[in-house]
């Protein structure tokens, strides 16, 4: 997208979310513009969903507009600038709602709205909101993890090929520098997310990676730099936030600038050194040991379960809560064995979408949506297909999960047979994961197994959806061209149940 197009997209979104005065805060993750609203009723959902750049919306603790990777990082600054400019000038008049969607899109939107009403209460539990806050700590780190992971893969390739040996040490430093200090960034973001002073969280977390901790004997346990990893940094920064808040409450204002930072670092630092580093280190080791044991002993079954359940996690927005586990595994072994298996869920989604495309040859609106979303789907960005196609249709979402389960079982089986591999970074999926793959059985075998898993996911997702994804009546009612008469009440009654346990409070129509 050009700068003008990004600004035009932001300008189109702003009035449809209630204008600048309705915006409390703005943020973004890998694919979504996340807005905290003052008044949810001011949002014009249908007009917003009709915008060409909008792939879908998710209503959660924030109002999330799915724009896709790359695009969201460019649109968000333009959106922030427009909000700032509009607040200093006269408020603009709200834009008129866009034209009505074709009937098939409205039908799916109505189905998604019913799903939202049935599930909204279940998806706002304190536990799920806490997990999302944890995910918010790690999401800003993903670009660095991706960049360093790709450089690590390039460095490994050059090392194995014995090419340009003078460059290899430099690449190793680039790839490892961020990972060696990731605990500091985690601590900084943790304090920021939970209402503390960000730099104090980073300062306490820095204790974990400081080389001098190797000289400390904590209750008979010799500490080592990095012990506890990101989990220790997370816990240390959470503790620092609580200590800081206590100090702000009780320390006199005249002494606050001196006493509060000192007590925060001192108390949290002592607890970290003489407790949290050891405990978090044991937890981190247990995570690595369990992941290795799980795939070594029950690889096929474990892969089936993980691959089959990951799409519902994505649908619920909880998949980012797995980032601390992935990061811990990368710290320990250099790669996360879970990510290639979880990526199979995206393969099942792609296969299901292709089946829907061929199953509904006369439905131009759904086919156009699939054609526009498939490239992102092949690269591992499944949200446009989930929210725009399979979830509103109901059954195709389940059959996509079946495809993901089959692909996960395929990859898990090879882990069980001794060919373990993983991803050196998190974030990418699908085809975009190939440059990040690493394993102990050679790059050729690793790529072949991962590609085989994708193929299985595509094929099973396609077959399951094509043969079992629609009832005959639903297929007939949806298989209409624009201009055909509206869907009958009977076809509406045949749409998937709104009380399905695998649905989410998301209503995204197909354009």
Residues designated as active site: 29
| C-beta atoms surrounding 321 within 10 Å | 18
List b or e across 10-32, with b for residues whose CB sees 16 or more CB atoms inside 10 angstroms. bebbbbbbbbbebbeeebbbbbb
Beta strands 63-66 and 32-37: pairing type?
Answer: antiparallel
Beta bridge mates, 26: 35
In whole angstroms, what is the distance from residue 185 CA to residue 140 CA?
Answer: 9
DSSP character string of 337-382 = SHHHHHTHHHHHHHHHHHHHHHH-TT-HHHHHHHHHHHHHHHTT--
Q: Which residue has the tokens 């996360």?
A: 336
| DSSP for residue 67 | -
Cβ 232 vs Cβ 208: under 8 Å: yes
Burial of 361 (0-12, 13-18, 19+ CB in 10 A): exposed
Residues in the chain: 511
Beta bridge mates, 35: 26, 63
The three-class DSSP label of residue 26 is: strand
| DSSP for residue 228 | T
In whole angstroms, what is the distance from residue 460 CA to residue 402 CA?
Answer: 7
Q: Give the containing element (helix H, strand E) for 147.
A: helix 142-161
**114: which residues sit within 8 A by CB, 6+ positions away?**
498
The three-class DSSP label of residue 222 is: strand
Judged by phi (left if over 0) then psi (alpha if -120 to 50, else beta), residue 337 lies in: alpha
């Amino acid at each position: 997208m050009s700068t003008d197009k990004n600004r035009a997209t932001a300008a189109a979104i702003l009035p449809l979310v209630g204008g600048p005065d309705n915006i409390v805060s703005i943020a973004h993750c890998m694919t979504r513009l996340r807005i905290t609203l003052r008044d949810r009723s001011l949002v014009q959902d249908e007009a917003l969903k009709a915008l060409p750049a909008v792939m879908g919306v998710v209503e959660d603790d924030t109002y999330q507009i799915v724009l896709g990777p790359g695009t969201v990082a460019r649109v968000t600054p333009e959106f922030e600038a427009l909000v700032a400019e509009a607040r200093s000038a006269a408020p603009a008049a709200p834009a008129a709602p866009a034209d009505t969607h074709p009937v098939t899109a409205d039908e799916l939107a109505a189905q998604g709205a019913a799903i939202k009403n049935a599930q909204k209460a279940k998806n706002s539990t304190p536990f799920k909101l806490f997990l999302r806050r944890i995910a918010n700590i790690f999401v800003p780190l993903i670009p660095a993890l991706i960049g360093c992971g790709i450089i690590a893969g390039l460095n490994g390739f050059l090392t194995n090929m014995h090419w340009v040996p003078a460059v290899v040490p430099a690449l190793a430093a680039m790839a490892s520098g961020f990972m060696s200090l990731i605990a500091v960034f985690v601590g900084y973001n943790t304090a920021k997310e939970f209402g503390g002073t960000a730099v104090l969280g980073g300062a306490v977390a820095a204790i974990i990676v400081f080389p001098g901790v190797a000289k400390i004997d904590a209750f008979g346990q010799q500490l080592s730099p990095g012990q506890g990893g990101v989990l220790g940094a997370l816990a240390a920064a959470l503790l620092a936030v609580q200590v800081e808040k206590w100090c702000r409450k009780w320390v006199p204002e005249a002494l606050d600038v001196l006493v509060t930072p000192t007590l925060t670092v001192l108390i949290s630092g002592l607890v970290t050194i003489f407790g949290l580093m050891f405990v978090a280190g044991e937890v981190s080791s247990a995570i690595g040991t369990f992941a290795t044991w799980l795939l070594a002993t029950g690889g096929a079954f474990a892969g089936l379960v993980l691959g089959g359940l990951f799409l519902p996690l994505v649908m619920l927005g909880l998949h980012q809560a797995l980032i601390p586990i992935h990061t811990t595994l990368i710290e320990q072994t250099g790669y996360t064995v879970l990510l290639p298996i979880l990526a199979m869920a995206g393969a099942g989604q792609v296969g299901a979408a292709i089946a829907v495309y061929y199953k509904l040859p006369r439905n131009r609106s759904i086919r156009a949506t699939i054609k526009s979303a498939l490239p992102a789907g092949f690269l591992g960005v499944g949200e446009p297909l989930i929210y725009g196609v399979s979830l509103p249709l109901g059954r195709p979402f389940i059959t996509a999960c079946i495809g993901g389960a089959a692909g996960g079982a395929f990859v898990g089986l090879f882990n069980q047979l001794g060919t373990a591999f993983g991803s050196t970074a998190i974030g990418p999926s699908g085809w975009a994961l190939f440059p990040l793959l690493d394993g102990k059985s050679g790059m050729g075998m690793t790529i072949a197994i991962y590609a085989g898993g994708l193929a299985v996911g595509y094929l099973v997702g396609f077959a399951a959806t094509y043969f079992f994804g629609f009832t005959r009546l639903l297929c007939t009612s949806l298989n209409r061209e624009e201009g055909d008469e509206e869907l009958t009440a009977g076809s509406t009654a045949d749409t998937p149940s709104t009380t399905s346990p695998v649905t989410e409070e998301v209503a995204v129509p197909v354009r």
